[in-house]
Structure formats: C-alpha cells, structure tokens
Amino acid sequence: MVRWRSGVVTEVRRRWRGAVELTVAVDGTAFRALAYPALVGEPEPGDRVLLNVNAQLMGLGTGGYALVVALPDRLPPDPPGAGTDRDEGHVVKARYTPLQAIVRGVEEPSSPHHAAIAAADTLGGMPVVTADLHSALPAVLAGIHADRPDARVAYVMTDGGALPAWFSRTLDGLRDRLVGTITVGQAFGGDLEAVTTHSGLLAARHALGADVAVVAQGPGNLGAGLPWAFSGVAVGEAVNAVAALGGQAVGALRISDADPRDRHRGISHHSLTAYGRVALVPCDLPLPDGLAAPLAERVEAQLSELSVRHRIIRVPSAGLDEALRASPVALSTMGRGLDADHGYFLTAAAAGRHAVGLAVQEDQEQPAGQQRDQ
C-alpha cells in the first residue's frame, strides 16, 4: 500500500502557506517532495526524511509529489499545551492514520465560536455555490467580485480531494479574496475546522460573517471513470445540506467542449449524476449567455435531465471574461487554462455572479435593523 523511501534533503525549492517543496536525493535519484511543517516540522538541507513515494511513481497529475512522512533525526517540538486535556481541541482529522491530527473544531466548548455555532440552526438564506472541482473556486470568486468587490466569501473545503488545505497553492493566492477557509470532514488545515459540511456552513455564516459560501472538494479528486465512482458526486449532498439549513444552493455545472473524454463534453456526466440524482431538493443552475455555439447546443440538449427538479438560470456574461483574466491565481482545470476550456470557467463565474445577486436581494429583503452582523 505504501512505497517507502529514505532520502536526504538537497534543496528547499519554494514554499507557500502550510507547505514547502523540496528536492530529496534517494540513492542518487532526485525526487520532488512536499512537506507540511505543521505535521512534520521544518525540513532543511541535509535532513534525512522518510518519504511516501506512491503518487510520484504513478505520475499522478495533481499530487505527483513524494510526501514527507517524518524527519526521524530531528522531530518537531510538541504543539502548545500538555496534550492531556481538550483545551486546544479534540477533533481528530485523518483519523486512525499514522499522521492523524488533533485540531480544535468550531463546535467545541473551547472554541471562541462555540456559542455562535451552538445557537445557529439556519443559514438565513445565504447563497452557497456548490462545485465538484477545486479548480472552480477562483472562477466562482471572479464572478462574485465582478459585481460586488466587497462581498465576504467563505470557502468550505470538503474531504473528497486533498485532505490538507495547505496543499492548495490556489488557496494561498486567494487569501486576500476570502474571509476564511473551513475544512470539514477529514480535511484539515483551514482557518477554521468543522466536523461536518453542515456545521462548516454554519461557521461560514455565523463565525466568518460570509455573504456567500463556496463548497468544493480540495485539489485533486478520486475517479474511476464511472458515474458513481467520483468523489465530486458528493456535491449533490452539499445541495441537500444547504437546503436543510435554509440556504440557497447554486450549482456550478461542470461544462466543457475541450475535454477529450466524451462523457465530460457539454455537461459532464458527473454534474448530471450529482444534480440529477444525488441532490434531492431544487437548486439554481446558472448558465452564462456567452457559451460558444456548438457547446451551447449540446448543453441545451442535456438540460432536460436537470430542469425537472432544478431552476435553470440564464446569466448575462458581460464582464465575466475580464474578471476571469484578472484572477490573482492561474486558472487551470485538468491541465487546461482559461482559453483552452473557456466554457468551464465562464459557467463557474456565472454561478458566482448569480449567487452574489441572491445575497444582495436577501440583504435588501431583511427588515430594517435585522441585517446580519459581520
């Protein structure tokens, strides 16, 4: 299950929030490796490291790193506290693995947000954009901030892809555009931690004061080429969670005319499964008016599978291309950039535009004096 290697750090290549990229020599071969200092400590040139090399040997596209498991000769210091009580939290993520981490969840009595989350039972109409790929996040944000630059947006990262939020260079580049990241389920490393998607959404609203939330798995995903064998299918469950909490779900459809796999052309079969069969309650499914003609025709032919339950929303695309091109992070999905897969990113941006429009409407409909505290 694990291919282990022992090597020596020869170079610290680059770092971003929560992660450091290394070159590690293993029997004369250079491996590109990644370490999470919060888990294993700060690697330095000359350190011996233990590596898990599965992903690199397989050449996985998103996560093709050898992962540092330990610095056995220079262990990091213990975290603050005695470790014998729950003052620093007792929520365990990556449970029962050798690197399980103990964090403080927003739900715990020791959390400064405990009272707000304990009292919360509704999102109060907050719009929530659901997307099945992490790559949609910057495009959704571009659509939101194109119309409302001051909108407060929280990201709820589920555990279908990477578990450490630190893996994402996209999140590092979007720190100034988000009021915070909440890692839920087995995912960890966000600004806040939550046990479930439901409590993560409540934290977005009541702890971070978000106007809009975005729910998506972390970078990377697990898929086996079948409709039910894809981690992003859980986006349909996110729609159900939003409805259960009194929010407004906005689905970012996965649309492409560039994917070489026919099952992903037009509306991806994963979106058809997640929204058509997993989501049991209605949501809004925005479509931009600027899709290229052949793609638009194929999408229209597929909409009947979704329009039985959901509301198809036509969204003007004016200004969205400019907003996408101004993204502070590179746009990339399955190795394709904005121009190579324009319809995918434009549709995600349209979801953001529609969601922030709902947020403005919701605020305007609040009785005087009852606007949400921020």
Q: Look at 24-38, 79-93, 233-247, 305-319 and tell me which has the smallest mean pLDDT.
A: 79-93
Q: Is residue 370 predicted with pLDDT exceeding 70?
A: no
Residue 251 pLDDT exceeds 90: yes
* DSSP sequence for 188-199: B-SSEE-SSHHH
Q: What is the pLDDT of residue 369?
A: 42
Please report which confidence band the pLDDT of residue 368 belongs to, taking 50, 70 and 90 as the band edges: very low
Give the tens place of pLDDT for each residue, 89-115: 889 999 999 999 999 999 999 999 999
Q: Residue 124 phi/psi, 5° resolution?
A: 60, 35
pLDDT at 266: 80
Report the percentage of the chain scoring pLDDT > 70.
95
- What is the tens place of the pLDDT at every residue in 7-47? 999 999 999 999 999 999 999 999 999 999 999 999 999 99
* Confidence label for 372 from pLDDT (cuts 50, 70 and 90): very low
Whether the CA torsion 114, 115, 116, 117 is positive or negative: it is: positive
Q: How far apart are CA 170 and CA 166, in angstroms?
A: 10
Burial group, residue 46, by CB count within 10 angstroms (0-12, 13-18, 19+): exposed
Q: Given the structure tokens 């450091």, which residue do they identify?
A: 20
Question: What pLDDT, on a 0 to 100 scale, did the predictor assign at position 374?
Answer: 35
DSSP secondary structure code for residue 312 in this structure = E
Share of the chain above pLDDT 90, in %: 78
pLDDT of residue 56: 83
For 324, other C-beta atoms within 10 Å of its C-beta total: 20
Mean pLDDT of the chain: 92
269 or 373, which is more confident?
269
Which of 49-63, 122-136, 230-244 has the weakest average pLDDT?
A: 49-63
pTM of the complete model: 0.93
Dihedrals phi, psi of 328, to nearest 5 degrees: -75, -10
The pLDDT tens digits for 216-240 are 999 988 888 787 888 888 999 999 9
